[in-house]
Structure 1
């Protein structure tokens, strides 16, 4: 660890900050904070429609400038873990982490 710190001090700090951010977000989600908002409800509805009815939306329901990738990802998570608001939110946390780690590689 000492050689990693000396060789890549900014990288080690970045990883520590990302781990702390993800752990804090997961802890807050497990405590039920924040409450469900309309965008998450639409993603939940879209994921349910994708999984149960076989729909294939291209755009976010009601907003024809946003994509539906998160709903497809949510449908996959629903298939693996069952449907709940927590699963949708954990999917968003994993997308956040992927977005933050993408420039590193």
Structure 2
């Protein structure tokens, strides 16, 4: 059995907790940006179904949004301070409207809960 080096383990756990805390703030901002595209109270379901994390701190996501205006896909991006970008550090944008999908198809394709 391998012996664990306590300082290394403690550093790893601290790093994981910092990353998780940062993710919550980023996710909350994405939710805010997506909901801002719709009238207040219009979004009925909002779910991130795909998430990408890079070693440099970049995060990206794909979301399905059910609203009073229809069903949509959104793409989200976050660039940390150390990464050069020509645009905003955090953004959310509508990628397409999902007109032709029934509620059953949406549930299956995006693994939506009941």
TM-score interval, smaller chain: under 0.3
Look at both structures and tell me which one has the larger radius of gyration over its CA atoms.
2
Q: Which has the higher contact order (CA 8 A, sep 6+)?
A: 1
Specify which structure has the higher proportion of helix.
1
Give me the TM-score of the superposition, normalised by structure 1: 0.27
Give me the TM-score of the superposition, normalised by structure 2: 0.26
